Amino acid sequence: MIYVKHSLEGSDAAVLVAVYFIWLKLALIVALSLLFSCFTTPLLAILFTVGLYIVGLYVQELRNLPVEVMNPAMAAFTRWLSYLLPNLRIQRAGPGRARASGSRRTDPAKHAVRVIYCAIVLTAAAAVFSRKNLK
Amino acid sequence: MRRVGVVALNTFREAVRDRVLYNLVFFALLMMAAAIAVGQISIGIEQTVIVSLGLSAISVMGLLISVFIGVALVSKEMDKRTLYALLAKPVRRWEFLLGKFAGLVLTLAVNTAAMALGCCW
């Protein structure tokens, strides 16, 4: 950005906020990969983690499925699933979008949800690893 | 907590010695440099293209690092049988796991910071 603009502005700090949220997302992925690697083979753990990452990108779509044309049980299941899975989509930062969606991106609730989710996954991983038979 | 810190520090040292890590960071920086060329052929949204491509590079490379190194953290220790020597010491299993997690998260923090610097530059 400095190469192109020859200077940095205050609004460019939104990029650093986006990088922080990417880092939080990566921490969550590490926790998930640790959880899966505790009870499966490395290849399966990679597949599970990548699969969960891809599903995590579309959690919002899963929540907003057209429930009126679906079976009520299926609608309840997809809604339940969307709350269970982590939301891994990040709003892209940019000079225009920074002002438009800045308040949403810096939402402390979103930050807290990721940290709590990470703690829960790590606790589950520790529980599985503690009971694992290493013989 | 000290034991978690020791495991985390050793995980960090082990990760930064990995050549794959440097290759991935290099490709991320290369992608950001390419963003300048892509930005120049876009009309009026040069800066948006550069930021968007830079953040995508950080996200994709970070994902590759976290998945591949994250999965190998525990399984490699079990394959090489170094885990048994470690757990024979007064280290609880959850402390080992938390240390591994903290070490890789620290590595990712350094990596994303380096890539963010590349994006801002």
> What's the CA gap between B96 and B84, in Å, rounded?
12
Would you call A26 an interface residue with chain B, using a CB distance cutoff of 8 Å? yes
Would you call B23 an interface residue with chain A, using a CB distance cutoff of 8 Å? no
Residue of chain A whose Cα is closest to the Cα of B69: A30
Whether B112 sits inside 8 A of A5 (CB atoms) is: no
- Cα–chain center distance at A110: 10
Q: Is a pLDDT exceeding 80 seen at residue B47?
A: no
Residue A18, min C-alpha distance to chain B (Å): 8
> What's the CA gap between B62 and B117, in Å, rounded?
15
B22-27 long-range contacts (CB < 8 A, ≥24 apart) are B24/B61, B24/B64, B24/B65, B25/B61, B25/B111, B25/B114, B25/B115, B27/B61
User: How confident is the model over A73-102, as pLDDT tens digits?
Assistant: 877 888 888 888 888 776 554 444 444 444
User: Does residue A4 or residue B47 have the better pLDDT?
Assistant: B47
User: Which positions in chain A touch B94 (Cβ < 8 Å)?
Assistant: 126, 129-130
Residue B57 sits at the vertex; the CA angle it makes with B105 and B51, to the nearest 5 degrees, is 110
Give ipTM to 2 decimals: 0.87
pTM for the whole structure: 0.83
Cα atoms found within 13 Å of the Cα of residue A121, Cβ hemisphere only: 24
